[in-house]
Amino acid sequence: FTFEGTITDAGGSTKANFEKIGTCMMTVKGAWNNSGSVKISDGTIKITGASVSLGTGALSVAEVATLTGSSTSALKNSSVVINGVLRPILTESTALGKITFNNQNVNISSTGTLRLNISKASTSASTTSGDCIRNINALTINGTISLQFVDYTPNVGDEIRLWTGVKSFTGKPTVVCDDSNIILDASRLSEGVLVVKSTDASGIDTILTDDNDASKIYTVDGKYVGKNLKALPKGIYVRNNKKITK
């Protein structure tokens, strides 16, 4: 469903808090000006429109929830914690989504995922464009960065831009992509850049990670699913920088 209205404080010292529950998608088009917390506890909130905002209080996304969409206006929340999925996206078939922050801190935890569509930039043979996050003071990612290539075949040396306007970066994320032949170099991740190291991987060493916990298991699209392979259904997973099949 779509909500085009606003949420505002009741006045005085009373802050309006908001919690999204239920598995449905809620599309937000209005400019909220509440100073209370905004919690996405389940399902999805999609932001869209030139002036959309989610208030000025703390914003959090639970493990089973998603914040998605695209907007040119900045989210003005005092802090942002992503335990689920952060997915800037305009449409499924394009790589034009932008989620803009207001120079606050953004923390993508060990269970969180930054999911991006990536395509070829029209201005350079070796640079990509795509979905991105931007204008962040301190960005921390200890979860997963998951890439999907849209109408783009990576070449060795290509630079994949993940974010812009980030003053500092810390963390040890796992990086995965939807092409099992691609090996990515994360040595410039502090700049928001991944470099295509190889497009002809042999064996199953196709997932690069900076995470020191070799026991963590992820789905191929980057979602953390625990450490016990026996408890998972049959499928393909990522552990210790390698794809594994159960």
Q: How many residues does the chain have?
A: 246
Scan for tokens 């997963």, then name that residue.
Answer: 144
The pLDDT tens digits for 22-41 are: 999 999 999 999 999 999 99
pLDDT value at position 107? 98
149: which strand partners? 118
Least trusted range by pLDDT, from 6-10, 41-45, 107-111, 135-139 = 6-10
Whether residue 136 contacts residue 104, with contact meaning beta carbons closer than 8 Å, is answered with: yes
pLDDT band with cut points at 50, 70 and 90 for residue 220: low
With a threshold of 0.75, does the pTM exceed it?
A: yes
pLDDT: which is higher, 189 or 211: 189
Q: Which amino acid type is present at position 79? A: S
167 vs 226, higher pLDDT: 167
Place of tokens 């990086």: 175
Average pLDDT for the chain: 85
Contact assessment for residue 83 and residue 107, using Cβ atoms and an 8 Å cutoff: no
Taking only the tens place, the pLDDT of each residue in 48-77 is 988 999 999 999 999 999 999 998 899 999
Q: Which of 80-89, 134-143, 228-237 has the lowest mean pLDDT?
A: 228-237
C-alpha 21/C-alpha 139 separation (Å) is 27
Residues contacting residue 121 through CB under 8 Å, at least 6 positions apart = 127, 128, 129
For residue range 83-127, what is the model confidence (pLDDT) as tens digits? 999 999 877 766 678 899 999 999 999 999 999 988 876 555 555
Q: How many CB atoms neighbour CB 208 within 10 A?
A: 20
Distance CA 234, CA 239 (A): 15
* pLDDT value at 241 more than 70: no
- Helix extents (H) in the chain: none
pLDDT of residue 81: 98
pLDDT of residue 122: 53
The residue type of 112 is G
Which amino acid would we find at residue 35?
A: S
Q: Residue 57: which of 76, 74, 71 has the closest Cα?
A: 76
